[in-house]
Structure 1
């Protein structure tokens, strides 16, 4: 087991990656694209895109809905304001209006549960892949390429997994080289679709681990549901 902040985070990442790779063994194309309910978000041919901001550079795009701040992020928004981040900056990070952020800050009632579309394994994997590829590009790469154009989504599960693990491992290898000073550097990652430019890099690494953990847990549940509907 590693020591220090970076060692702990890398150990957490490695264990999650190992468990996820085992859990994804045997993923086939039909299961990968299975929509658990009508209206699920997935990857689709560009001409069949069902959401207003579906993105990707190739023939297949990843569903993405209208911009908003999910209820699960309301507490983080309040913490960011308390720490000195402006409402305008938060609005820009989430591509929403200043009024929307002010509404969230003014609402003292417990937040309603998020109402988001159910997603396919293809969507979860593509969403994760897009995040890893973009964060690498805006941390260790040229810091120029459009985050929405970095992953060529595919309906072939095996190909998607090969591409995904390659970018995940590239991220892990470069994170392992950072110094304590870089971990504490605000803006070491300039990933533009979020608060990375305003956060110490150690927070970015921790949050990326959390993304991998929670989306892989969702993928595991989708695999369980797929198996449950096919008892043979």
Structure 2
């Protein structure tokens, strides 16, 4: 393995991007309380809920609290990625398997012309966003640097405590970052270096997987930041 001081330019760029995003996120999440963490700004939000109170089709988690998850589909902003997968030689059946949708749904997307209609996606709570990121990074580590056997959806014990959730989340990010820093240039180019079972990781060079992980952290933290702004101004905004 390479030492961090000798890592390649590509890895340095990705680690620096990750470090900056994590630093901004930690500052932005300072002072997060339980009520804000679980705040549902509109009806029918996705969040974390006690197992017996879950209403979504595929809510999951190993303990008392589960993370909302609806029926599988391919969002509109991923249509181009599906087209790239097909153009790269991936079969329709394999694409359908990766996205947990039917072959007919993939064929429908590949036949689509023009701009797709925007998705009608649920509004999600801060608890949901953090939980989504947590199990993604925990699963990404397990299926790259760990034993590659545990279901990512069973790795995180979701909690209604903001402080506990954040402590666990930062620890998972630190473990991820420490392991990624050891990756060699050859491993960056290795297709299937990550075997994360939900998505296209086994079919992608690891450098693409890392880029995608950074994007997940950045865009979900941006959403959390907006929710924090809305929470702060919820009683003072002009009606």
TM-score if structure 2 supplies the norm length?
0.95
Map residues 29-48 of structure 1 onto 2, 5 A cutoff. Answer: 29-48=34-53
| Correspondence for 1:194 among 199, 214, 217 | 199
Residue in structure 2 matched with residue 226 of structure 1 by the alignment:
231
TM-score if structure 1 supplies the norm length?
0.98
Looking at structure 2, the residues matched to 142 and 88 of structure 1 have their Cα atoms a distance apart, in angstroms, of 27
Residue in structure 1 matched with residue 61 of structure 2 by the alignment:
56
Looking at structure 1, the residues matched to 139 and 108 of structure 2 have their Cα atoms a distance apart, in angstroms, of 30
Q: Secondary structure at the match of 2:89?
A: coil
Looking at structure 2, the residues matched to 168 and 112 of structure 1 have their Cα atoms a distance apart, in angstroms, of 34
Task: Say if 2:188 is the partner of 1:183.
Answer: yes
Q: List gaps (5 residues or longer) in structure 1.
A: none
| Correspondence for 2:173 among 163, 168, 176 | 168
Looking at structure 1, the residues matched to 189 and 85 of structure 2 have their Cα atoms a distance apart, in angstroms, of 17
Residue in structure 1 matched with residue 20 of structure 2 by the alignment:
15
Runs (4+) of structure 1 exceeding 4 A deviation are none
Q: Post-superposition shift, 1:230?
A: 3.5
The count of aligned residue pairs is: 232
Task: Say if 2:105 is the partner of 1:100.
Answer: yes
**1:20-50 superposed Cα distances (whole Å, 9 cap, x missing partner):** 0000000000000000100000000000001
Q: List gaps (5 residues or longer) in structure 2.
A: 1-6
Residue in structure 1 matched with residue 215 of structure 2 by the alignment:
210
Q: Post-superposition shift, 1:107?
A: 1.0
The more displaced of 222-231 and 188-197 is 222-231
